Chains A and B, each alone.
Chain A
């Protein structure tokens, strides 16, 4: 049955959770002028990737990525899926660790890190155990609950904007696309590559219209732009560059006279955290799906085991520097997931169709 609406909300939420924290930092670092070009480049890559991926998946009606790749033989599937699994594990670790760090830095300075990680992990474990259909419905409910708040705060974030900071629109350095090789640009792909894989995992459970996903991704574009341009327009490039989380700083500058709250940024960022929890649940669910490909255990056992393992791993990362290293090593896997997997689905899909006809 058709679940386009739920799919779109999960797609939007999991990306929104990723956009506003690390992404602006990376983009602001990658170029000095004309930020829209790296953003648009990243976005174009994202569009191409999900279009290819969904096209590839459409060759396997009512099959998910794992079963689809399996049609080319078990060995091929294992070789192709192992890096994906590694990628997903790394994403889990990085996300949990990085976001707990953000939370301690910004709001809960006295709460120990492990407590926050335990909270994030246990909630996403719980949600993942409920199954993909429950995740989708949760996404819809969270969308309805939190999006009005988010839109309200985002629209207030223009309060301190100075439009002159948007100029100059372009310089020769940016126009050469030299930023493509920059470490920070490659890191920024994190925001694009994290959330799209689930689109290939849900077909056995329900259908969605891939066209609607592509259209809804256009909603993400202004969010990507806002996440970078709001800090730049508020502080200017030179100041924005200095902050660890420029977008959080921007939202912190908002002051609304008639509201009883001083730091409404907290509500905005924490609703982003809830989206991240949902994203984590999806990632864990995908991971379990891949693990169960070879090793058929009950999800009720696997998911808690996985989350304990993740927790231990996260505890063993000593500081922020290691997180950013991990994020950097993850780039290779990220590019693999963005290039090889969609391409593989198309190649295997075309062959599968030929064989069947």
Chain B
């Protein structure tokens, strides 16, 4: 068979690989593809319908063949391999020895559009992005219905082609920023990018950063907000997130849905988030500072009652706090790992530990439980899970400094964190910018 010499041997060994003979009009055709990626019966049906509408008799053979799809010029093993792995099918017309690549009816391998799973929306559009990049671009286009929206797509990766799309608004995005981003991507098109770490390497961000440089969001609405603020959006195939670049400090506190509340309430809610972040960073440090280094700052009644509750606790406040904080972090991490059906068990067990038991066992003081509960709750008020992790980490710096230097350590920890945040720039845009207006791309 003529076809045989084109087909790469490894392909033949795949169990889901098929070669189906059929006739379209008067020509005999071999259809090649993966059953796992395409819906074969419906594709065949479509092909036959198409063959009926324009027969070989009406057109010449070449035009007839091209009516199905793109002819593959100079077919060799590798082009056939890539076309088939991409999920397309090839038609081989044996009489003419020609390959046509056709986009088939695909198997539905993507979940349908659903409500977001990591971001809750109280008021506003609920649909969230999915794994399929085309659907995502479509959803964002629906939200940002403007002629100014531009989409650039790249196929990245050396061995395996992965799609990366860049969306931006022509009228909002600063040209220098656009050039910086596209320049970085285009110079590294052969990099394999499978996760956000690799993507961030590709864009030239430092690897050792405590703050994510992408603000990832599941909501097309948030992506649209980024676009209209003059930011760029990156979409990676099979990644149900829109990555907003550059990410700014204010993104920790503001979401677009806030605008669906009355203005005053919106500001109050945002203030609440700021308070949450500060509480989370400061409170454990403050406890350690006040208990172990500067008890004189406290009102005498309070100082005494704390001292009384710590009478039986055999170790210093910093150990006590670290102990419980680590248990808390473990609970947080475990509740992500566990299947939903076992989750409640964890809550219950955690509740027992962090409830009265650990106090009655004289392992920690009463007050610490309150402090840590407040800390944990407030760590989640920040927008975006990736940001809440950064803040959880910052807390430990302050905690350690407070243990050494008391309130002085607490405040100097804050200075360090402020300076660190102030030093971060992405593509020349400081992290502390409120939002990025056009034409002001540098600090």
A119 contact set on B, CB distance < 8 A: 401, 404-405, 408-409, 412
Residue of B nearest to A129 (CB): B423
How distant is A142 from chain B, measured CB to nearest CB, in Å? Answer: 6
* Contact of B440 with A134 in the complex, beta carbons under 8 Å: no
* Contact of A262 with B415 in the complex, beta carbons under 8 Å: no
How distant is B6 from chain A, measured CB to nearest CB, in Å? Answer: 59
* Contact of B419 with A267 in the complex, beta carbons under 8 Å: no
Kindly list 10 other residue pairs between chains A and B, CB separation below 8 angstroms, not including A119-B405, A261-B299.
A116-B408, A123-B419, A135-B422, A136-B422, A137-B422, A145-B418, A263-B296, A266-B407, A271-B411, A274-B411
Residue of B nearest to A2 (CB): B440
Residue from B296, B297, B408, B418 in contact with A273 in the complex, judged by beta carbons closer than 8 Å: B408
- Asked if B414 is at the interface (CB within 8 A of a chain A CB), the reply is yes
* Contact of B421 with A260 in the complex, beta carbons under 8 Å: no
- Asked if B126 is at the interface (CB within 8 A of a chain A CB), the reply is no
Number of interface residues of A (CB under 8 A): 39
Complex CA–CA separation, A126 to B417 (angstroms):
11
A136 contact set on B, CB distance < 8 A: 422
- Asked if A108 is at the interface (CB within 8 A of a chain B CB), the reply is yes
Complex CA–CA separation, A115 to B401 (angstroms):
12
Complex CA–CA separation, A270 to B404 (angstroms):
15
Residue of B nearest to A134 (CB): B423
A108 with B298, Cβ < 8 A, contacts A130-B419, A141-B418, A141-B421 known: no
Residue from A103, A116, A138, A259 in contact with B422 in the complex, judged by beta carbons closer than 8 Å: A138
B416 contact set on A, CB distance < 8 A: 123, 126
* Contact of A260 with B302 in the complex, beta carbons under 8 Å: yes
Complex CA–CA separation, A271 to B408 (angstroms):
9
- Asked if A154 is at the interface (CB within 8 A of a chain B CB), the reply is no
* Contact of A130 with B414 in the complex, beta carbons under 8 Å: no
- Asked if B104 is at the interface (CB within 8 A of a chain A CB), the reply is no
Residue of B nearest to A111 (CB): B405
Cβ contacts A to B, 11 pairs, < 8 Å: A1-B442, A107-B408, A116-B408, A127-B419, A130-B422, A134-B423, A136-B422, A141-B422, A260-B299, A262-B299, A277-B412
- CB within 8 Å of A: which of B386-435? 401, 404-409, 411-412, 414-416, 418-419, 421-423, 430, 432
A271 contact set on B, CB distance < 8 A: 411
- Asked if A133 is at the interface (CB within 8 A of a chain B CB), the reply is yes
A134 with B422, Cβ < 8 A, contacts A1-B440, A119-B408, A266-B407 known: yes
B406 contact set on A, CB distance < 8 A: 107-108, 111
B423 contact set on A, CB distance < 8 A: 130-131, 134, 137
Complex CA–CA separation, A273 to B442 (angstroms):
30
How distant is B176 from chain A, measured CB to nearest CB, in Å? Answer: 13
How distant is A161 from chain B, measured CB to nearest CB, in Å? Answer: 23
Contact size range, B: 20 to 34
B294 contact set on A, CB distance < 8 A: 107-108, 266
- Asked if B443 is at the interface (CB within 8 A of a chain A CB), the reply is yes
How distant is A125 from chain B, measured CB to nearest CB, in Å? Answer: 11
* Contact of B432 with A116 in the complex, beta carbons under 8 Å: no
Complex CA–CA separation, A95 to B209 (angstroms):
32
* Contact of B300 with A270 in the complex, beta carbons under 8 Å: no
Residue from B297, B408, B415, B440 in contact with A278 in the complex, judged by beta carbons closer than 8 Å: B415
A145 with B414, Cβ < 8 A, contacts A116-B408, A266-B407 known: yes
Residue from B296, B415, B442 in contact with A277 in the complex, judged by beta carbons closer than 8 Å: B415
The digit string for A192-236, where 1 denotes a CB below 8 A from any CB of B, is 000000000000001000000000000000000000000000000
* Contact of B405 with A108 in the complex, beta carbons under 8 Å: yes
- Asked if A47 is at the interface (CB within 8 A of a chain B CB), the reply is no
* Contact of B405 with A263 in the complex, beta carbons under 8 Å: no
- Asked if B363 is at the interface (CB within 8 A of a chain A CB), the reply is no
B443 contact set on A, CB distance < 8 A: 1, 133, 137, 206
* Contact of B296 with A270 in the complex, beta carbons under 8 Å: no
How distant is B169 from chain A, measured CB to nearest CB, in Å? Answer: 23
- Asked if A140 is at the interface (CB within 8 A of a chain B CB), the reply is yes
* Contact of A108 with B422 in the complex, beta carbons under 8 Å: no
How distant is B222 from chain A, measured CB to nearest CB, in Å? Answer: 25
How distant is B275 from chain A, measured CB to nearest CB, in Å? Answer: 12
A123 with B415, Cβ < 8 A, contacts A134-B423, A137-B443, A266-B297 known: yes
Complex CA–CA separation, A206 to B294 (angstroms):
42
- CB within 8 Å of A: which of B259-315? 293-294, 296-300, 302
Complex CA–CA separation, A111 to B404 (angstroms):
9
How distant is A315 from chain B, measured CB to nearest CB, in Å? Answer: 18
* Contact of B430 with A137 in the complex, beta carbons under 8 Å: yes
